[in-house]
Amino acid sequence: MLTGSCLCMAVRYEADEIIGPYVYCHCRSCRKANGTAFAANIAVPVEAFRLVSGAQQLRSYESTPGKHRYFCGECGSPIYTAVGDAPKMYRIRLGTLDDAFSDGPAAHIFVGDKAPWHAIEGDAPQYAGWPDPKALQIAGSRQHKS
């Protein structure tokens, strides 16, 4: 089991299972939502995710039709996203994990939108947009709908 929380610790969660791999997303929306050069997200089945505290602090924003971004209303920390009316997966922000997580990213996606001031390092594959699902499947994302 993994645990996570927001910056002010009001929102706390547990995840019994994660579905990898995870990616660094460089799209404009993820950069804006996280205030960073990219977002690090990994899928968690909805039934394996529990809010331990702070449900009343969670706020959401529909950044694109059908994609809701959930964040702490007190400190603003992004916690997870959900796609669709009945999502099977949430995409949690790895930066909110309280437990050690040392796996490396499977890829960088949407590098066609990357911040010009950020240099991508390492040997993980890079994709201008969505990778072909035959090469890399990103659970809980819009990839399967594009």
Mean of pLDDT values over 36-51: 94
**In the block, which residue shows the tokens 């490396």?**
104
**Mean pLDDT score of the chain:** 91
Tokens coding 100:
């050690």
pLDDT digits (tens, 9 = 90+) for 10-22: 999 999 999 888 8
pLDDT bucket at 138, cuts 50 / 70 / 90 = confident
Whether this prediction's pTM lies above 0.85 is answered by yes
Residue 56 above 50 pLDDT? yes
Q: Which of 21-30, 55-64, 135-144 has the lowest mean pLDDT?
A: 135-144
Residue 98 above 80 pLDDT? yes
pLDDT digits (tens, 9 = 90+) for 82-95: 998 889 999 999 99
- Please state the length of the chain: 146
The predicted pLDDT at position 144 comes to: 53
Residue 137 above 80 pLDDT? yes
The predicted pLDDT at position 146 comes to: 39
Residue 47 buriedness (CB in 10 A; 0-12 / 13-18 / 19+): exposed
18 touches 63 (CB < 8 A): no
Better-scored residue on pLDDT, 144 or 66: 66
Q: Which residues pair with 126 in a beta bridge?
A: 108
According to DSSP, residue 96 is labeled G
